[in-house]
Chains A and B, each alone.
Chain A
Amino acid sequence: MTDELYKEVILDHYKHPHNKGKLENATVKQTEQNPICGDVVTIYLNIADNVITDISFNGCGCAISTAAASLLTDHLKGKTIEEAQNLSRDDMVSLLTVSISPARTKCAMLALVAVKNGTAGLR
């Protein structure tokens, strides 16, 4: 399973994450932590007319949480806040294309939790 877990797509996104860095003057900035392992992710969003026009992330984390943030930020560009709010754990797992054990669920979900908490009041 773990050999599967660390397949090329995960390692690629971990080593060369997309949308990494701050967005200056972001509409929304939301940080979430996983206190168990010390992972931190901050999500930056620019929102216009309910649509995510730009999104990026910063922080430090394991391969799974970093790849998840990278893939999620790619996915959410141009989506509406509702679409972001409706993403589930299963959706996150399909973006990652690997199966996620309960122990790693927190890692996989960290960026999505940040997006959801950051946009919760905007609907």
Chain B
Amino acid sequence: MNRRSDFPILNQKVHGKPLVYFDNAATTQKPRLVLDAMNQYYEHTNANVHRGVHALAEAATEAYEQAHRTVAKFISAPGMESIIFTRGTTESLNLLSYSLRDRLKKGDEIVLTRLEHHSNLIPWQQAAKATGATLKFLELTPTGELDISALDKVITDKTKIVTTTHVSNVLGTVVPVKQIADRAHQIGATMIVDAAQSVPHLPISVKKLGADFLAFSGHKMYGPTGIGVLFGTKDALTALLPFLFGGEMVHEVSYETSTWNRLPWKFEAGTPPIAEGVGLAAAIEYLAKLGMDKIAQHEHKITKACYDSLKTMDKITVLGPEERGSLVSFTVDGAHAHDVAALCDQVGVAVRAGHHCAMPLHLHLGIPASTRASFGVYSQETELPVLYDALEKAVRLFS
């Protein structure tokens, strides 16, 4: 698979070297057809949705609703009513952490994992503070996998919410979501999945995962920024209170009280990200056409090649388990992640350095920061040696 030419931005030099974009876990680049779809929308269709009876309003509404259907089909959700557009994973998870608070009381427990991104940790810290609930964590094994043997001990009758990342954005760990969901459902808890790092890289079925809610971001899957998704089962969404109030999300309004619109609009107050929805749908059609199985295979191959090579390099420590999502994080002895990333940048390789919005996980691992190479549909094995050369230089300079 070589999709480089689909992405205009990749055709450039950085510091005089061809751009090697290995920062896909932070955000992906956009294929020409996503840019075109959004332009097309603005040039021919733009109007507010669900409001007008004029031709443009109807066309815009149809395009926006169709985008919900496209997302639903992509993750094997029943239909449009199970798909809420938000601003991103972070907003989706915040929505849940507010709207689920009415089910939490003192002594209840929210179960997370040690892997969580700040956006699936801090909202629950806040919910716990507000309600008197407590946070509990599923621990990691020494190799960075989730210690599933403790599942029944950690998830108990007191657990009301279980929330986990599907793929860790630092260690690459693939979490056995289904097994956790089964346990959560056994005791009647709500199961939430942060799929920001899985939906762009793996075939996803919300049914197979057993998720009551699932969140992800458009910009990490070749779509635009400013749009994300919250999937919820019909039962879960019906029982959930709205989070944002205003136009669009209401059915009947008097000065005293209001009733809520039907799903999914009950959760989409105000003018939504319409062009972004159109762009996201175009990105999904692009991915579906390439085939998520094929994409997963392609990325698995390059990830494995990178993992295997870095494992053999002196002074480099790879973080996380061998079986992993499309990313490899590592540390270089004696070198700070920032300096490693700066040396990579010098030869045109974009990688991420820092704690990747997972500060507690880095503290837990006992490292101040790490460097991460993350892959996408356009990544090529032939690009890897440029990274290796930069890392050898980092070892030479700093170790």
Residues of A that sit less than 8 Å from B by CB: 1-3, 5-6, 11, 14-15, 35-40, 60-64, 104, 107
Interface assignment of B101: CB less than 8 Å from any CB of chain A = no
Q: Determine whether the beta carbon of B354 is less than 8 Å from that of A61.
A: no
| Total A-B residue contacts, Cβ distance less than 8 Å | 53
- Asked if A38 and B342 sit within 8 Å, CB to CB, the answer is no
B304 CB contacts on chain A under 8 angstroms:
none
Q: Can you list 16 residue pairs at the A/B interface with Cβ under 8 Å? A: A2-B345, A5-B342, A6-B339, A6-B343, A6-B397, A11-B397, A14-B398, A15-B334, A37-B336, A37-B368, A38-B355, A60-B368, A62-B339, A64-B338, A104-B342, A107-B338
Given A37-B354, A38-B359, the answer on whether A2 and B346 have CB atoms closer than 8 Å is: yes
CA distance A6 to B336 in the complex (A): 13
Contacts of B334 in A (CB 8 A): 15
Among residues of A, the one whose C-beta sits closest to the C-beta of B369 is A38
- Minimum Cβ distance to chain B for residue A88 (Å): 23
Give Cα A11–Cα B336 distance, bound, in whole angstroms. 12
**Is A63 in contact with B346, judged by CB distance below 8 angstroms?**
no
* Mask of B333-363 contacts with A, CB within 8 angstroms, 1/0: 0111111001101100000011100010010
Contact between A36 and B354, CB atoms less than 8 A apart: yes
Scan B25-52; emit 1 where CB is below 8 A from any A CB, else 0. 0000000000000000000000000000
Roughly how many angstroms separate A111 CA and B347 CA in the complex, as a whole number?
29
Extra inter-chain contacts (6) besides given A6-B343, A11-B398, A64-B338, CB under 8 Å: A1-B15, A15-B398, A36-B354, A37-B368, A62-B337, A62-B339
Q: Are A63 and B354 in contact (CB under 8 A)?
A: no
Tell me the B residues contacting A by CB distance below 8 Å.
15, 334-339, 342-343, 345-346, 353-355, 359, 362, 368-369, 397-398
Contacting residues, chain B, for A36 (C-beta < 8 A):
354
| B398 & A39 in contact (Cβ 8 Å cutoff) | no
Selected contact of A37 from candidates B15, B335, B346, B369, CB within 8 Å? B369
User: A residues within 8 A CB of B353?
Assistant: 37
B338 contact from A1, A11, A35, A62, Cβ within 8 A: A62
Report how far A15 CA is from B333 CA in the complex, Å. 12
| Nearest CB of A to B10, in Å | 21
Contact in complex: A63, B368 (CB < 8 Å): no
Contacts of A1 in B (CB 8 A): 15, 346
Contact assessment for A39 and B397 in the assembled complex, using a CB-CB cutoff below 8 Å: no
| Known contacts A62-B336, A62-B338, A38 near B354 by CB under 8 Å | yes
Min C-beta distance of B370 to chain A, whole Å = 10
Known contacts A11-B397, A38-B355, A38-B369; is-contact A3 B339 (Cβ 8 Å):
no
The residues of B that contact A39 with a CB separation of less than 8 Å are 336, 338, 368
Contact A63 to B369, CB < 8 A, known contacts A2-B345, A11-B397: no
> B174 to nearest A CB, angstroms?
26
With the chains together, A64 CA to B353 CA distance in Å?
Answer: 15
CB distance from A39 to the nearest CB of B (A): 7
- Name the A residues within 8 Å of B336 (CB-CB): 37, 39, 60-63
A62 surroundings in chain B (CB, below 8 A): 336-339
By a CB distance below 8 angstroms, the chain A residues around B359 are 35, 38
The reply to whether A37 and B338 form a contact with Cβ atoms under 8 Å apart is: yes
Chain B minimum-CB-distance residue to A5? B342
Q: Which residues of B contact A107 (CB under 8 A)?
A: 338
**Residue from the list A5, A15, A38, A104 in contact with B362, Cβ < 8 A:** A38
Complex CA gap A46/B344 in Å reads 40
B335 neighbours in A (Cβ, 8 Å): 63
Contact, CB under 8 Å: B368 / A38: yes
Give the docked Cα–Cα distance between A63 and B353 (Å). Answer: 14
The interface residues of chain B lying within 8 Å CB-to-CB of A40 are: 368
Return the chain B residue nearest A40 by Cβ.
B368
Q: How far is the CB of B369 from chain A (nearest CB, A)?
A: 5
Nearest-CB residue, chain A, relative to B340: A62
Contact between A2 and B338, CB atoms less than 8 A apart: no
A24 CB to closest chain B CB (Å) equals 25
Complex CA–CA separation, A91 to B354 (angstroms): 27
CA distance A18 to B342 in the complex (A): 24
Report how far A39 CA is from B369 CA in the complex, Å: 9
Q: Measured between alpha carbons, how far is A63 from B359 in the docked complex, in Å?
A: 21
* Chain A residues with CB under 8 A of B397: 6, 11
A36 and B338 alpha carbons, distance in the complex (Å)? 10
Chain A residues near B345: list those with CB within 8 A: 2
Chain A residues with Cβ under 8 A from B337's Cβ?
Answer: 37, 62
* Distance to closest chain A CB from B250 (angstroms): 40
Q: In the bound complex, what is the Cα–Cα distance between A123 and B231 (angstroms)?
A: 58
Task: A37 to B334: give the CA distance in the assembly, Å.
Answer: 15
Residues of A near B398 (CB, < 8 A) are 11, 14-15, 63
The answer to whether A3 and B346 touch (CB under 8 A), given A14-B398, A60-B368, is yes
